[in-house]
Amino acid sequence: MKLRTVLLFGAPGSGKGTQGRILGAIPGFFHFSCGEVFRSLSPDTELGRIFLQYSSQGRLVPDEPTVELWRRYLADSERAGRYHPESDFLVLDGIPRNVRQAELLADTLDVRAVLHLTCADPEQLVQRLQRRALRENRLDDAHLEVIRDRLRTYERETRPVLDFYPPDIRHEINAAQPPIAVLVDILQILRRL
């Protein structure tokens, strides 16, 4: 059985995490944030160290350990009774983040919608990330140079993932709106699934 999935897609700062957390609170939706799971790893573990090394430079963690971590986390969530694949939509935020990851996940996922949060003005993204750095004490948001590297990584490696999925399931959502307006747009798409 493939997992019924909705992808939250967009640049760092586009609001994937904010929307994902809200959707994850709705019965029948299970939110997985790849960045959050990485940040929850102890820096004493091998993968925790690898994560810090890459994320502090605005780079992506290598694909195999990333996909392995994802599979393990979902299996644990299912065992713990938090995720019910037969009835829940999986809301993925931050994975797949390049074409190779999309290929690795293709056998497992039945992607029903790709919600592309778009923002015409990259400076707005930079400002949001700088505000988040203050609020959440995130190393990768703290330096302007790392933020710019992350935005470049997004353009180079992540944006091409969009073309991996058929145009009829892709939806553009204006992420420059206030979060509640973004949510309304997303819910209108999800209720039709």
The residues that touch ligand ADP, with contacts defined as CB under 6 A, are: 12, 34-35, 38, 54-55, 59-61, 66, 94-95, 97, 101, 140, 150
For ligand ADP, the closer of residues 3 and 95 by Cβ is 95
* Tokens of residue 116, six digits: 């592309």
Run of H or E residues at 24: helix 16-24
Tell me the residue nearest to ligand ADP as measured from the CB. Answer: 35
For ligand ADP, the closer of residues 19 and 55 by Cβ is 55
Backbone phi and psi for residue 143, each to the nearest 5 degrees, phi listed first: -115, 130
Query: 187 has which bridge partners?
Result: none
Run of H or E residues at 80: none
For ligand ADP, the closer of residues 10 and 89 by Cβ is 10
| Preceding amide of 166 cis, omega within 30 | no
Q: Kindly state the smallest distance separating residue 177's Cβ from ligand ADP, in Å.
A: 18
For ligand ADP, the closer of residues 5 and 94 by Cβ is 94
Which segments of 110-190 does DSSP mark as H helices, in order? 122-136, 139-142, 144-153, 179-190
| Sole residue written with tokens 């497992």 | 108
Q: Kindly state the smallest distance separating residue 53's Cβ from ligand ADP, in Å.
A: 9
Q: Kindly state the smallest distance separating residue 50's Cβ from ligand ADP, in Å.
A: 10
* Tokens of residue 160, six digits: 């091409």
Q: Kindly state the smallest distance separating residue 159's Cβ from ligand ADP, in Å.
A: 13
Q: Kindly state the smallest distance separating residue 170's Cβ from ligand ADP, in Å.
A: 19
